[in-house]
Amino acid sequence: MVAGMVKSGCQMLSLEWMELSVTGSLPPARCGHTATMVEKRLLVYGGRGGGGPIMGDLWALKGLIEEENETPGWTQLKLPGQAPSPRCGHTITSGGHYLLLFGGHGTGGWLSRYDIYYNDCIVLDRVSAQWKRLPTGNEPPPARAYHSLTCMGSRYLLFGGFDGKSTFGDLWWLVPEEDSIAKRLLATSPTNLAQNKDVVMGNNNVQSEGKESQMEESVVSELQKRLGISVSLLGNGVPIVDELEDTEFVQLASSLVGERVSSNQQVSDIQALRDHWRKSTPRHIPLKELGPLLRDYQRLITRHLQANGGSHMQFIESSFPGKVAYGFYHIRNVNQLRMDDIPKLLAEYKQLLPN
């Protein structure tokens, strides 16, 4: 997949698919596998073959980095240790020197086959190049496959999945024992609650409910921070600067007019830039304009909220104006945007512009 170029040298939002020619042996065709980029190699594990067999093989693809000048080719890796059983619908998430595999869908039996769903954690240690079972200090989530698992610092966030009968919509943290989340859970374990049973009576029941509510809010706040979502409009979220203090935005507005202007004319140039974006399509916006566009989008949202006395969380739930959800207010950097986010971002931006 490659990006297009224009004569001015600005990269545009035009993409093309190109089939990669690979030499040597190839992995068997499959679906439901994982493909994880680890430095200069793409690691593919497991999946279900075209004829139905579930696989447990590990392959590495080299030659994806142009600077390395390597011919693309596959190598099957057979690593020592406690390797996972064959499966599909699992997740493999990269975290530092480890790859963490969780869950998945396999089969058992000989004469009669049956489905197996896993909830085990298995680590691929990149330093020692071997598989290891990861012990956990409490009961794991119910077995599942076709879920998502995201690494956030030293934590992993699990969401959803399917166990052959039920579809899950639950969230689970996997954290180190010294993590603040683990300590909070330990403090509210059934054993500790039973020891304090005689204390939590009468009016203390109200206090307990308040503490539980605070804990839920604390967990939500922690999740918001980890995901980079601002907790309040003017708190520690996305920094919002005025147009005239946004140097890149002002320079882009001036370059659009084509003349060097005084500070008194910058306001009209800014309006010209906004009109330019109002008339643009996603395909014709250069990548260099996405940063200023995203910041101006967030700036306009902030002003709408300040004018109407709303909070950030109210905005996320009910949006403004016209009950339309604006989903990019929390983005801290344009690099967090995906290519398929651009049309939606531009459409939402146009709705924010005054008529």
303-355: per-residue pLDDT in tens? 887 776 654 444 444 444 444 567 888 887 888 888 888 999 999 999 999 87
Residues 195, 198, 203: CA angle, nearest 5 degrees:
125
d(CA 142, CA 108): 18
* Between 224 and 274, residue with greater pLDDT: 274
20-72: per-residue pLDDT in tens? 999 889 999 999 999 999 989 999 999 999 878 999 999 999 999 887 788 99
**What's 2-181's CATH class?**
mainly beta
Mean pLDDT over each residue of the chain, to the nearest integer: 80
Q: CA neighbours within 13 Å on the CB side: how many for 143?
A: 12
Both tokens of 34, joined, read 């994982």
187-215: per-residue pLDDT in tens? 555 544 444 444 344 444 434 444 444 55
Per 3-state DSSP, the chain is made up of helix, strand and coil in percentages (nearest 5) of: 35, 25, 40
Both tokens of 351, joined, read 């709705």
What pTM was computed for the model?
0.55
224-271: per-residue pLDDT in tens? 555 554 444 444 355 678 888 889 999 998 888 775 555 567 888 899
Q: Where are the domains of the chain?
A: 2-181, 243-352
Q: Which residues contact 116 (CB under 8 A, 6 or more apart)?
A: 105, 106, 107, 108
At residue 183, the pLDDT reads 67
Are the beta carbons of 36 and 91 closer than 8 angstroms? no
Q: For tokens 């931006």, what's the residue?
A: 349
Q: How confident is the model at residue 13 (pLDDT cuts 50, 70, 90)?
A: low
Residues 140, 142, 146: CA angle, nearest 5 degrees:
110
Are the beta carbons of 266 and 254 closer than 8 angstroms? yes
Q: For tokens 């049309």, what's the residue?
A: 343
At residue 191, the pLDDT reads 47
- Report the side by side order of strands in the sheet with 155-162: 148-152, 155-162, 167-174
